[in-house]
Chain A
Amino acid sequence: MAVTFKDVEHVASLAKLSFSDEEKEKLMQQLNEILEYMEQLNLLDTTNVEPLSHVIDLSNVLREDKIKPSLSRKEALSNAPARTEKFFKVPKVIGER
């Protein structure tokens, strides 16, 4: 299953990234190389193997429902490229998701 030019455009738009046509060509080539490399995994017979979701053997890591201090608003907003006194500010978003 090869990655097409259209696939690259689709994934880029989902990630809200924009590329020039040359960049898209290059990415398409790189993605295909990665997938080809990964193809080796298909040499293994996985008929009776359960899909793995986690590599470490841990379960039920849970936390008591107790409030811990939050950041101050000043700290919380401090990394934002744009902000008001109380809010993060982002370019106008229209419509619903």
Chain B
Amino acid sequence: MRLNKDYEPIIGLEVHAQMLTETKAFCGCSTKFGSEPNTNVCPVCLGMPGTLPVLNLNLVEFVLKIGLATNCKIAPRSIFARKNYFYPDLPKGYQISQYEKPICTDGFAEIDTDDGKGKTIGLTRIHMEEDAGKSIHDLDVDTLVDVNRCGVPLIEIVSEPDIRSPREAYQFLSKIKQLVTYLGICDGNMEEGSLRCDANVSVRRKGQEQFGTKTEVKNMNSFRNVERALEYEINRQIQLIEDGGEVAQETLLWDANQNVAYPMRSKEEAHDYRYFPDPDLVPVLVDETWIEKVRASLPELPTPRRDRFIAELGLSKYDAEVLTNEKRVASYYEETLAALAGITGQPSKNIAKTVSNWLMTDVLRVMGERKTDIPEFPISPKNLAAMIGLIIDGTISGKIAKEVFEEMLETNEHPRTIVKNKNLVQVSDSSTIELAVDEVLGANKPQVDKYLGGNEKVFGFFVGETMKKMQGKGNPKIVNEVLKRKLGSLKN
């Protein structure tokens, strides 16, 4: 879909990320996804009178991690607030959130843009809150409620209205996903709802300073939907203005099946949340010591890791970016590289590109085809390194290596075992190769004459035939040499 060039969209995103804690935000119930309905519940998350919430230490540590990774100011004192509304999936009648004094403010994230220049998106705030339960509407005449998710810890990341296109919104969301997964605080799965995104959208004529009236778009439950829903909403607003109408401030729900966003059926007062400080939860004080402790625990983040791959290993920016996009892939790469350096005794820099090629063309391809992730990938970094080692020391050819790789995927066996059992060792012995070459040349007189007549293109045919004769095991370099020598002597 194309966007009208006379207008500029202004987009701000609110991203909710479910934290990978063992227990809920304010009680000891498990956060396990997919448990039997209403089995991870206790008097606290059921909102029983007289119960008191107690904050999960890991939730604070996790939000500090993302706050530091996105250059936020950490509030020395932050408090919780009650967001009041009545809905059956919220037994207490309020959601515990942060309002006036969130724990993280004024940060930024660098996103990768299509022009390669990158862009800084400001972060207004990051705060802690709890999730609501789940209502099931489509079964009966009644609504059924599962409270398991009630109290599951979330963080809400609110961006500044710095995003200027649906594509940038997608890139921002990708960056947030990358950061939270690198930090190990969220699994980043949008389809399962561990990462959710709402958007505030308005449009203005190019050159106009004032923002237009904004709408809120909700329910965009996949990365692709975010882009599509925003394109839809931007075009709708532009069309409305072009037709002489006005954008109404309202909340829209994206319907991914019909590709439309329709206004939510709700009264104005639905937004009257009457926030006030939660008296049951005491303030959270974060001092410099705590901040520094968390900072020291941060893993290497994607951008520094990418830059290190470029500087230390001499990889191209493209390779480094693909390899560091996901933490697990980057670690798999580094483990393979280290193992191979151990086997060959070569410095990492000399073999970095070779390993990168195997990762990018083979490992990532198979992962894409099988829709698996590194933890389920059948070949360990050590075994992949051993296989590349076999190419480097001349035991197998690069072509045979592809066959060994496929075999390793199926059997999980060590490459050396596969090479031995399937008799795949490369033949470098020139007398064996000479025998094969003689047979090929003897059986293909017309091609030999062509070659001798000056058609050098036939050379490739001889290489192919010789390799075929040797079941692909001939050392390509020596096969070439022998062919050149034999054909050369025929010329004279």
Mark A residues whose CB is within 8 Å of B.
10, 13-16, 53-56, 58-73, 76-77, 82, 84, 86-97
Contact = CB atoms under 8 A, between A and B. Distances in A.
B4 to A, nearest CB: 30
A77 B38 contact: yes
B144 A97 contact: no
A76 B462 CA distance: 78
29 contacts: A14-B84, A14-B85, A14-B86, A14-B269, A54-B283, A61-B54, A62-B57, A63-B54, A63-B56, A65-B21, A65-B57, A66-B28, A67-B28, A70-B30, A70-B41, A71-B42, A71-B46, A72-B39, A76-B147, A88-B38, A89-B142, A90-B142, A90-B145, A92-B141, A93-B143, A95-B264, A96-B265, A96-B266, A97-B85
Contacts of B136: 87
Interface stretch (B156-164, B241-249, B272-280, B475-483): B272-280
Nearest to A57: B282
A82 B141 CA distance: 13
Nearest to B251: A96
Given A54-B279, A70-B39, A73-B38, A88 B144 contact: yes
A10 B144 CA distance: 28
Contacts of A54: 79, 277, 279, 282-283
A58 B283 CA distance: 7
Contacts of B30: 67, 70
Nearest to B137: A93
B41 A93 contact: no
Of listed B21, B28, B58, B269, residue having the most chain A CB within 10 A? B28
Given A13-B269, A87-B145, A96-B264, A66 B36 contact: no
A80 to B, nearest CB: 9
A16 B270 CA distance: 12
Contacts of B87: 93, 97
A59 B80 CA distance: 12
Query: Nearest 5 CB-CB pairs, A to B?
Result: A68-B28, A87-B144, A53-B277, A65-B58, A88-B145
B23 A68 contact: yes
Interface of A is mostly: loop
Contacts of B274: 14
B22 interface: yes
A4 to B, nearest CB: 15
A74 B23 CA distance: 21
Contacts of B59: 65
A92 B59 CA distance: 34
Interface string B147-161: 100000000000000
Interface string B81-117: 0001111100000000000000000000000000000
B57 A70 contact: no
Given A14-B272, A90-B143, A92-B142, A97 B266 contact: yes
A54 B78 CA distance: 12
Nearest to B32: A67
Contacts of A55: 279
Contacts of B283: 53-54, 59-60
A19 B88 CA distance: 21
Given A73-B36, A76-B147, A62 B269 contact: no
B38 A64 contact: no
A94 B39 CA distance: 26
B279 A66 contact: no
A86 B38 contact: yes
A86 B28 contact: no
Nearest to A77: B38
B86 A84 contact: no
